[in-house]
Amino acid sequence: MFMYGKHILGIRACTWVYFFLLVLSFITYLVGQLGLGGLEVSLLVLFFALMKGHLVGLYFMGLVRVKGFWHWPVSIWLIIPGVLISIAFYLAN
Amino acid sequence: MTATTATIGCSSQSKYPSGDLAIWVFILAELLVFGIFFAVYAFARMNNVELFNEFQQHLDLNAALINTWALITSSYFVVRAVAAIKEGNSQLCVRWLLAAIAMGAVFLVVKSGEYAHHFGQGINLSTNSFYMFYLSLTFFHFMHVIMGMVILAAVAIKAHQGGYSASDNTGVHTGASYWHMVDLVWLILFPLVYVMR
């Protein structure tokens, strides 16, 4: 539906992304409500957050249609703090 | 072009993102600052895991979910506003922008309620390390939401006055990109501060 490979970007794709973001956020909320913790759960929740950020960058910001340097900054921004946060939680656990 | 086939962002493959390039330099600078804050929070937590885990449970997770949904919905409304102006429909663009601003207002009201609750309990920046980070990070983001709403309002006013068209809509893209950045930051902030333990 998202057709990332063909770089087709439309309202319908963004609408699917929107609902996906809502669902992932609700799963994150449930993890918090159930009091689930530990390294694995934290990294899974972080992975969901990074995936959501990636989708916002690609589809809402329209970076899926940008090639070259400007395609990458948001993805790189997500990866670097994501790795640092993962390391910090790994060391803390 | 129908609403279901309207393209978002650039109309074709491009070397540059949609909107004024200057806003993207600004967005990257903002993301860098937030990224450093996130990493500092995570490493500060290493030395106070029990304290962070204990006080994290005092936060209002329901409010955080409402705010997350509000910002995601707001971002989606901005996507619709961009699609509308690309079809040359200024008034539809204005309506979507106003809806996005309204969702931003929901965020501000809910977050203000959280702050009022904390301050009512005598919690402030010097209460402990967790609240220092929680209040600093979320208030810094809160200020960005306000700034984003001001930008969207300025874009909506210009759109209402017919300042944008299907072929000249860089300003709408510029405001939209900034608002998506505000949403993007919250999507990391929410699990990091409210959920991960």
Residue B105: inside a domain, yes or no?
yes
Residue B162: inside a domain, yes or no?
yes
Residue range B131-140: mean pLDDT, rounded = 98
Residue B15: inside a domain, yes or no?
no
Question: Which residues from chain A sit within 8 angstroms of residue B15, using beta carbons?
Answer: 66-70
pLDDT of A14 > 90? The answer is yes
Q: What is the pLDDT of residues B78-102, one digit of tens each?
A: 999 999 999 999 999 999 999 999 9
Decide: A36 and A21 in contact? Cβ < 8 Å: no
Decide: A20 and A55 in contact? Cβ < 8 Å: yes
Decide: B82 and B172 in contact? Cβ < 8 Å: yes
Q: How far is A91 from chain B (nearest CA, A)?
A: 7
With residue A72 as reference, give the H or E element that holds it: none
Q: What is the pLDDT of residues A18-31, one digit of tens each?
A: 999 999 999 999 99
Query: Complex ipTM, two decimals?
Result: 0.91
CATH code of the domain in which B140 resides: 1.20.120.80
High-pLDDT (> 90) share of chain A, %: 87
In the structure encoding, which two tokens stand for residue A16, read together? 């699917």
pLDDT for the residue numbered A54: 97
Structural domains of chain B, count: 1
> Which of B5, B28, B180 lies at the smallest CB-CB distance from A60?
B180
Decide: A72 and B26 in contact? Cβ < 8 Å: no
Testing the interface with A: which of B73, B137, B188 to mutate, by most A Cβ within 10 A? Answer: B188
pLDDT, chain B, mean: 94
Residue range A59-84: mean pLDDT, rounded = 95
Q: How far is B161 from chain A (nearest CA, A)?
A: 25
Are the beta carbons of B76 and A74 separated by less than 8 Å? no
Residue B2: inside a domain, yes or no?
no
Residue range B110-118: mean pLDDT, rounded = 98
> Which of A25, A64, A70 lies at the smallest CB-CB distance from B72?
A25
pLDDT of A4 > 50? The answer is no
High-pLDDT (> 70) share of chain B, %: 94
Print the domain residue range for B64. 26-195
Residue B34: inside a domain, yes or no?
yes
CA distance B84 to B86: 5
Closest chain B residue to A9, measured at CA: B7
Residue B17: inside a domain, yes or no?
no
Residue range B176-189: mean pLDDT, rounded = 98
Helices (H) and strands (E) in chain A, counts: 3, 0
Closest chain A residue to B1, measured at CA: A10
Decide: A9 and A62 in contact? Cβ < 8 Å: yes
Q: Residue B12 — very low, low, confident or very high, per pLDDT cuts 50/70/90?
A: low
Q: How far is B192 from chain A (nearest CA, A)?
A: 7
The closest alpha carbon to B135, from B28, B30, B58, belongs to B58
Are the beta carbons of B28 and A65 separated by less than 8 Å? no
Annotated domain spans of chain A: 11-92
pLDDT for the residue numbered B13: 77
Q: What is the pLDDT of residues B26-70, one digit of tens each?
A: 999 999 999 999 999 999 999 999 999 999 999 999 999 999 999
Residue B8: inside a domain, yes or no?
no
